[in-house]
Amino acid sequence: MSSSPKELWLENQLCFPLYAVSRLMTKQYTPLLEELDITYPQYLVLLVLWQKDDQLVSDISKRLLLESNTLTPLLKRLEQKQLVKRVRQESDERKVLISLTNAGKELQNKAVCIPERLVENIKSEDISAQEVEQMMTTIHKLISTLATTSERLS
């Protein structure tokens, strides 16, 4: 069936399954987030702000592992939707503080049901809660390994 060495098979590489599952998971969120009129990365930013309001672009950047070149336009779109304010700090004009508007705070009420609804959607007989738990533990370890190595490179 295959001509290539098995190291190069799609399934045997770490990358593809992670890439595929990430995209599929995002697609699960999409219809739920449409009700809030936000995208998935916008939802992540709001999660960060709901947990702690008034954060710098650089704070959000560290949290989501996204650079300003991704965050700046995204935050401008959230500002257009009147969900956040972007205010340049007086004490240090380089920094921009991101704060939730009232609408942004209130959106949290519509969002609280999302995690629950999502878990409902992906429930499967084949996959135990304990198994998912374990996967998450490994992924968190992987993230800290990879995040520090890519930090070292930049």
Residues 49-88: x where in contact with DNA by CB under 7 A, - otherwise, as a string: -------xxx--x---xxxxxxxxxxx-x--------x--
User: Under the rule (CB under 8 A), what is the footprint of a second copy?
Assistant: 1-5, 7-29, 40, 44, 47-48, 50-53, 63-65, 108, 111-112, 115-116, 118-119, 121-122, 124, 126-127, 131-132, 134-136, 138-143, 145-147, 149-150
Q: DSSP for 30-76?
A: HHHHHTTT--HHHHHHHHHHHHSSSEEHHHHHHHHT--HHHHHHHHH
Q: How far is the CB of 39 from DNA (least distance, A)?
A: 4
Q: How far is the CB of 118 from DNA (least distance, A)?
A: 15
Say how far apart CA 57 and CA 76 lie, in whole Å: 12
Looking up tokens 């508007």, which residue turns up? 101
When the beta carbons of 81 and 105 are compared against DNA, the nearer one is: 81
Task: Say if CB 89 and CB 95 are below 8 A apart.
Answer: yes
User: Binding to DNA by residue 41, rule CB under 7 A?
Assistant: yes
Q: Residues near 107 by Cβ (< 8 Å), separated by ≥ 6?
A: 36, 38, 46, 83
Give the footprint of DNA on this chain (CB under 7 A): 19, 23, 26-27, 30, 39-42, 56-58, 61, 65-75, 77, 86, 91-96
